[in-house]
């Protein structure tokens, strides 16, 4: 058994990575967080004072740095040029600049190529915004996960508290709405549900319920 490809897309803070990690663990698959790759590039760009709207400069940066994703107990460790940036890429500064970086066409083209290589020839759960529509159009299972903005902000609030990030519910709703708008309205592969994706509204579902639903669909497609 080689395993299937599972694509999980949806708006910011919908719980995609939490669910993708659980699903990958249960199936013994590799989990790949593509958002972390855009965040890692954004982190490096900010550090090097590169304009987050400059596609040319960003793609040059991307071609000379190494972004590594390695599996860990708590999901995934992210390294850029050997530096562990797992926590740093979740900062407010990275979060508010990542959608500008991710809107750049050349950057996307390069990222998609890297992501396809990572997904090559094995059971994989990949989460992002364009996995079902652009990265893995032939994935056996595609999920489009969402929840109300208020519910997503509330979940992010709990997560931030654990991380020591201080941001009000009102600010979080605004951050999430801004990021959704940027991701859905960009020209290069915007966030949208693939025609053949299964839609799951997780607003009033538990993590367990969502994970079980996806596993059931995956079992049918193996
Ligand atoms: O999933 P996460 O919130 O970490 O993603 C951060 C940002 O990276 C998203 O808001 C989006 O702008 C970008 N992204 C993307 N395509 C992906 C994954 C993430 O454009 N496949």
Mean of the per-residue pLDDT values of the chain: 95
Q: Could you tell me the residue range of the domain that residue 116 belongs to?
A: 5-221
Per DSSP, helices labelled H in the chain are 16-27, 34-47, 55-64, 92-102, 105-118, 149-163, 169-185, 207-221
What does the pLDDT look like over 125-173, one tens digit per residue?
999 999 999 999 999 999 999 999 999 999 999 989 998 889 999 999 9
Whether residue 98 has its Cβ less than 6 Å from ligand 1: yes
Query: Which distant-in-sequence residues (6+ apart) come within 8 Å of 109 by Cβ?
Result: none
Decide: helix, strand or coil at residue 201.
strand
What domain count does the chain have? 1
The verdict on pTM exceeding 0.80 is yes
What does the pLDDT look like over 22-81, one tens digit per residue?
999 999 999 999 999 999 999 999 999 999 999 999 999 999 999 999 988 777 999 999
Q: Atom of ligand 1 at shortest distance to CA of 130? A: 21
Q: With 90 as the cut, is the pLDDT of residue 113 above it? A: yes
Which carries the bigger pLDDT value, residue 2 or residue 137? 137
pLDDT at position 1, please? 65
Task: Report ipTM for this prediction.
Answer: 0.99
Tokens of 26: 């249960």
Q: With 90 as the cut, is the pLDDT of residue 122 above it? A: no
pLDDT at position 2, please? 77
Nearest CA to ligand 1 atom 2: 35
CATH number for 19: 3.40.50.300
Question: Cα of 179 to ligand 1 centre, how many Å?
Answer: 9
pLDDT at position 107, please? 98
92-114: burial string, b at 16+ Cβ within 10 Å, e else: eebbebbbbbbbbeebbebbbee
Q: Atom of ligand 1 at shortest distance to CA of 135? A: 21
């Amino acid at each position: 058994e080689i395993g299937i490809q599972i694509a999980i897309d949806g708006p910011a803070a919908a719980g995609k990575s939490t669910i993708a990690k659980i699903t990958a663990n249960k199936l013994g698959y590799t989990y790949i967080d593509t958002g972390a790759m855009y965040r890692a590039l954004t982190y490096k760009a900010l550090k090097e004072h590169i304009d987050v709207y400059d596609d040319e400069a960003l793609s040059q940066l991307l071609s000379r740095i190494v972004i590594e994703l390695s599996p860990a107990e708590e999901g995934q460790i992210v390294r850029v040029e050997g530096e562990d940036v797992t926590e740093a890429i979740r900062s407010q500064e990275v979060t508010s600049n990542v959608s500008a970086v991710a809107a750049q066409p050349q950057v996307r083209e390069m990222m998609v190529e890297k992501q396809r290589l990572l997904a090559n020839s094995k059971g994989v759960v990949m989460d992002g915004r364009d996995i079902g529509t652009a990265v893995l159009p032939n994935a056996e299972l595609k999920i489009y996960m969402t929840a109300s903005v208020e519910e997503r902000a509330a979940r992010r609030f709990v997560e931030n508290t654990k991380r020591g990030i201080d941001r009000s519910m009102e600010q979080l709703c605004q951050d999430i709405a801004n990021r959704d708008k940027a991701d859905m309205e960009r020209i290069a592969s915007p966030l949208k549900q693939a025609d053949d994706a299964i839609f799951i509204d997780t607003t009033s579902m538990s993590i367990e319920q969502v994970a079980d639903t996806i596993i059931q669909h995956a079992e049918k497609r193996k």
